[in-house]
Amino acid sequence: MAMLWRLMLVPLAMAMASGANPIRKVVNLLQNMKAKVEKEGDTEEKLYEKFQCYCKKNIAETDQSLKTNQEKLPPLQKTLESTVQEANQLTAQIQSAKTERQEAEEALTVATAMRQKEKADFAQSSQEQKATIDSIEQAVKALTKGMASAFLQTEAAESLRRFAFNRDGMVEADRQELLAFLQNGADYVPQSGQILGMLKHMGSETHEAMLEAREVEGKAQQEFKDLSAAKTKEIKALTVSIEEKMEQLGELKVAVVRLKSGIQEAETAVAEDQKVLQSLHSSCNKKAAAWDARVKTRGEELMAISETMKILDDDESFRKALPPISFLQVDSTATLKERVRRSLEAVPGAKTDLILLALRGKKIGFDKVVQMIHSMKATLKKEQENEDKKKEYCKQQFDSSDDKKWSLLLQVSNKETNIDSAKDALKMMETEIQELKAGLEKLDQDVAEATEQRKKEHEEFEDVMSSNTQAQSLLKVAKERMMQFYASPSLVEVSEQKGPEEVPPFRMRWAMGNGLAVLPSRSPREVEPWEGAAAMAQEHQEYIQQKVNPVLENLVTQLLLERPEQLAPFMIKWLSQNSKTPAAAAFTEGVNVLSELKVEMEKLQEEVKDLEKQVQTKYGNGIQNLEETEEEEEVDELEPPPAYLKKGPRNSVSAEAYGQFNPEKVFVPPVYPKSEEQKERLSSILKDSFLFAAMDSNEVAILIDAMQEKIVENGTRLINQGDDGDCLYVVDQGQMNCFIRQSDGCERKVKECTAGDAFGELALLYNCPRAASVEAAERSVLWALDRESFNNIVKKAAVAHREQLEEFLQRVPLLQTMEVYERSSLCDALQPVTFREGEVIVHQGEIGETFYLLEEGTAVVSKVYVPGTPAKEVMRLGHGDYFGELALLNNDLRAASITCASATCRCLALSRRTFDRLLGPLEDILRRNATRYD
């Protein structure tokens, strides 16, 4: 660089020495002008490139917004049409229901009016018939007693006359005869009986007619009652239907307004986007045309300046412009050349021979020097470009090394977290081992006490056996003495048929003199057990020590650990299983786990130390050391950390951690357009998956919007075992096969995922590599959810639901006595169930398999005390109450019915098996609280 500047100073010094040349001044001005124009061109070009970037970016964003809004319009319009059509159908149904209700009300009104008229007619007819019967009875009594004249003067005779005159179906001759009697009955002779028989017959017919009319009236009343009940029920049902449909119609009208507003907004957005897009295209095109013209003009300007400089730089023109050379000038020029030569000679290591030769010569021009200067300038420019590339490469290497440094620091943080977890588990295991040791020591003490007691019992047994042996010897002596008397020949019956050597069996006899009863004699074989009692006792003792004592020790150990209420069933069950001591097995298992944890922790600590050494080695002095190595041509690559391989299942997993090296960002859920059919299908798939069971409808809607459709062709390998997990997948259509790589390198298919299945969640949940490979068995349609959306939507929803559930369980009075760990286990086992108003949760008399906790809503407990009678309300249950425990505690049928009394009842259900395992310690409280149903 210094050499270049020295060479450029040569002509300038000569010009200064010889005086200013006007041509050179103009050339210098043109050169400055050219440099300024080129600099302005570079600046404007950078500004134009930024403007072009602005145009491309805004045009792309506006075009994407326009497409999105245009895609929104058809679904919105289709939804609006279907909503309007549904609203019209509901309007027609409401009008039809109103017409039916009006007709039913009118029919009920007409029927009521007719019933009232029929009732009035029956009352009047019944009254007249009763009066007629009374008149006939009075007439019969009067005629029987011969008091016809007195009867004809009464009101009853007039009533009977009117009845006979108006009665239909009566023989005319009989009517005339009866009317003649009623008008003038003084000459009536009772013995003839004609009028009397006629009156009795009329009374009998009238009575039968009255009974028939009553029966008809009763039937009419029942028919009206049935009709009225049916019409009232129909009117009530129509009213409820009208109200429900009116409510639905209101919701549909609101939806129509919202849809129209959405369509209007979308159309407005489309128009605005089109307007903005058109404006952007216009302004960008104008700017491009103006820039092309400006570039052309600047090129022409630079060409004119260059040509002008070329004309003025011509040697002939330059010589013409020089003034006449004087002696002083020549001398001055020589002096100047001498100074330049000395300057060139003073440059260390420079190749200036040719330049010096040119300065010494008188006939050689300065063109060769200028050419060398240009060549050196090009060389320096090329070297500068290489230096720039080298600098950019070094920067890239610095960034890569910095990323690896932070990655190693993150691994150190994760390992430290694992070490803390291992330490906690180690402390817990040590505590459990201490408790087991204390239990075993207590057990050993109890066994020692039991052994000492057993030894005392054995000594007592030996004493008893010894005293029994002595008693046996004494009894033997007494028996021999008795036999001396009772075995004499004078007291034994001798048989003549047998030889003298045959002795008859001894029979029981009584010594009458002293009243002593003598027992039958025993054979020597019967005395042998008494003679071998000591041997038998020794055998029993050995059997007890070798066989019985170990079993009893284990049994006592288990009894002390379990402490069951019912001893006999527990002992029988344990003896039948003949199991080992649980305490010893638990102690052994605890020691093994403790050893594994210690080994695991030591390995983790070694890994952390290795990683810290690597970080210290590579980045010990921070970024400063990295900047000092900027001029090095090669940057050493960091070796990957040593792989930690361990056979067997992993001891722990680590979810994604947020902190200093991995800060949590503000999350905005992505939205991928979907049709309503796709949303409904996705919603039904997610509802059946336990992974998304804790999410409410709003969270599910956000989750569905964040899922992106992915089509996988047959044979495509979507996931490779061991890769980092970035997405969760839900199968919509098709089939995906899962493979696991075995130790021999072959793959084995372990699962087939079809429509409705989800896979890939383990890598996101535990931040671990893929545990299996997944390949498409056919063309499949999947929905992908990225890691960030999964963490911020699914995992946060599960954590929030778990916290709400734990907070609810803490407020339940029944569970106040439970430990935190027990409540946490209960929280894992509870399943949410929702019931609607009027839905029966528990039916009286059915088999009970579930226990319920009422989290939200109100329920009514009702019970049928007498079969065939209506159920009576026993009590009402609210937030925090529980039910369904009686059938599980008593292993009986449901004792009452539970019905949802609010709009919805959200319950937490627990199966019988889990109820027995988790709520066993609360059995006494549950049984005591069962009296509330009484």
Alpha-carbon distance 311 to 742, whole Å?
83
What DSSP element (H or E) covers 741?
Answer: strand 736-741
Q: Which of 129, 158, 157, 133 lies closest to 143, judged by CA?
A: 157
Q: Which of 436, 789, 760, 468 lies closest to 584, judged by CA?
A: 436
Model pLDDT, residue 403: 80
Q: Which two tokens stand for residue 98?
A: 């109103």
Highest mean pLDDT among 340-344, 778-782, 879-883: 778-782
Higher pLDDT pick, 479 / 650: 479
Q: Which of 758, 787, 776, 775 lies closest to 721, judged by CA?
A: 775
Alpha-carbon distance 689 to 756, whole Å?
8
Alpha-carbon distance 666 to 788, whole Å?
11
Alpha-carbon distance 441 to 881, whole Å?
44
Model pLDDT, residue 527: 39
Highest mean pLDDT among 212-216, 424-428, 591-595, 616-620: 212-216
In the 3-class helix/strand/coil scheme, how is 336-354 assigned residue by residue?
Answer: HHHHHHHHHHHCCCCCCHH
Average of pLDDT values for 244-273? 87
Give the tens place of pLDDT for each residue, 315-361: 555 555 555 554 444 445 555 556 656 655 655 554 455 555 555 55
Helix, strand, coil content of the chain in percent (nearest 5):
70, 10, 20
Alpha-carbon distance 792 to 484, whole Å?
109
Kindly tell me if the per-residue pLDDT of 137 is higher than 60. yes
For residue 162, give Cα distances in angstroms to 158, 350, 455: 6, 164, 123
Model pLDDT, residue 719: 92
First CA to last CA across the chain, in angstroms? 107
Q: For residue 534, what pLDDT band results from cuts at 50, 70 and 90?
A: low
**Chain centre distance of CA 214:** 70
Higher pLDDT pick, 750 / 471: 750
Q: Give the residue carrying structure tokens 């390998």.
A: 717
Q: For residue 16, what pLDDT band results from cuts at 50, 70 and 90?
A: very low
Average of pLDDT values for 631-651? 40
Q: C-alpha angle with apex 434: 432 to 436, nearest 5 degrees?
A: 70
Give the tens place of pLDDT for each residue, 259-305: 888 888 888 888 888 888 888 888 899 888 999 998 889 888 888 88
What letter represents residue 81's amino acid? Answer: E
CB-CB contact of 203 with 136 (8 Å): yes
Model pLDDT, residue 840: 93
Alpha-carbon distance 560 to 644, whole Å?
45
**Chain centre distance of CA 304:** 77
What DSSP element (H or E) covers 107?
Answer: helix 22-145
Kindly tell me if the per-residue pLDDT of 629 is higher than 50. no
Model pLDDT, residue 900: 96
Alpha-carbon distance 919 to 926, whole Å?
9
Q: Give the residue carrying structure tokens 């379990």.
A: 562
Average of pLDDT values for 751-760? 89
Model pLDDT, residue 529: 42
Please give the sequence-ordered ranges of beta strands (E in DSSP) within 669-724, or none if there are none.
Answer: 708-712, 717-719
Q: For residue 777, what pLDDT band results from cuts at 50, 70 and 90?
A: very high
Kindly tell me if the per-residue pLDDT of 384 is higher than 50. yes
Average of pLDDT values for 783-804? 82
Alpha-carbon distance 492 to 495, whole Å?
10
Higher pLDDT pick, 144 / 844: 844
Q: For residue 753, what pLDDT band results from cuts at 50, 70 and 90?
A: very high
CB-CB contact of 377 with 39 (8 Å): no
Kindly tell me if the per-residue pLDDT of 658 is higher than 60. no
Kindly tell me if the per-residue pLDDT of 740 is higher than 80. yes
CB atoms within 10 A of CB 835: 19
Kindly tell me if the per-residue pLDDT of 619 is higher than 60. no
Average of pLDDT values for 8-27? 56
Average of pLDDT values for 521-540? 50
Least confident residue range of 169-173, 511-515, 818-822? 511-515
Kindly tell me if the per-residue pLDDT of 482 is higher than 60. no
Model pLDDT, residue 2: 41
Q: For residue 533, what pLDDT band results from cuts at 50, 70 and 90?
A: low
**Chain centre distance of CA 217:** 67
Alpha-carbon distance 256 to 99, whole Å?
26
Q: For residue 459, what pLDDT band results from cuts at 50, 70 and 90?
A: confident
Q: Dihedral sign for Cα 339, 340, 346, 352, please.
A: negative
Q: C-alpha angle with apex 349: 343 to 354, nearest 5 degrees?
A: 65
Alpha-carbon distance 619 to 630, whole Å?
15
Model pLDDT, residue 321: 52
Q: Which two tokens stand for residue 29?
A: 């001005």
Alpha-carbon distance 394 to 372, whole Å?
33
Q: For residue 778, what pLDDT band results from cuts at 50, 70 and 90?
A: very high
DSSP string, 527-541: HHHHHTHHHHHHHHH
Model pLDDT, residue 837: 92
Q: Which of 854, 890, 892, 859 lies closest to 874, judged by CA?
A: 859
Q: Which two tokens stand for residue 633?
A: 């041509």
Strand pairing class (736-741; 773-776): antiparallel
Model pLDDT, residue 782: 92
Higher pLDDT pick, 380 / 204: 380
Strand pairing class (904-911; 831-836): antiparallel
Average of pLDDT values for 212-240? 87
Give the tens place of pLDDT for each residue, 80-114: 888 898 889 989 989 998 999 899 899 889 989 89
Higher pLDDT pick, 59 / 407: 59
Calculate the average pLDDT of the chain.
Answer: 74
Least confident residue range of 50-54, 453-457, 716-720, 724-728? 453-457
Model pLDDT, residue 467: 61
Model pLDDT, residue 582: 47
Model pLDDT, residue 860: 94
% of the chain with per-residue pLDDT over 90: 7
Least confident residue range of 287-291, 538-542, 659-663, 709-713? 659-663
Model pLDDT, residue 13: 47
Q: Give the residue carrying structure tokens 């019931």.
A: 835
Alpha-carbon distance 536 to 312, whole Å?
143
Q: Which of 591, 185, 661, 202 lies closest to 402, judged by CA?
A: 661
> What is the torsion angle, in degrees rounded to the nearest 10, for the CA atoms of residue 555, residue 559, residue 560 and residue 563?
180
Q: For residue 638, what pLDDT band results from cuts at 50, 70 and 90?
A: very low
Higher pLDDT pick, 911 / 618: 911
Average of pLDDT values for 831-838? 89
Let me know if 924 is exposed, middle or buried by CB neighbors in 10 A (0-12, 13-18, 19+).
exposed
Model pLDDT, residue 259: 86
Kindly tell me if the per-residue pLDDT of 622 is higher than 50. no
Q: Give the residue carrying structure tokens 């004792």.
A: 895
Least confident residue range of 161-165, 253-257, 499-503, 604-608? 499-503
Average of pLDDT values for 744-753? 89
Higher pLDDT pick, 205 / 857: 857
Give the tens place of pLDDT for each residue, 568-601: 777 777 776 654 444 445 555 555 666 676 677 7
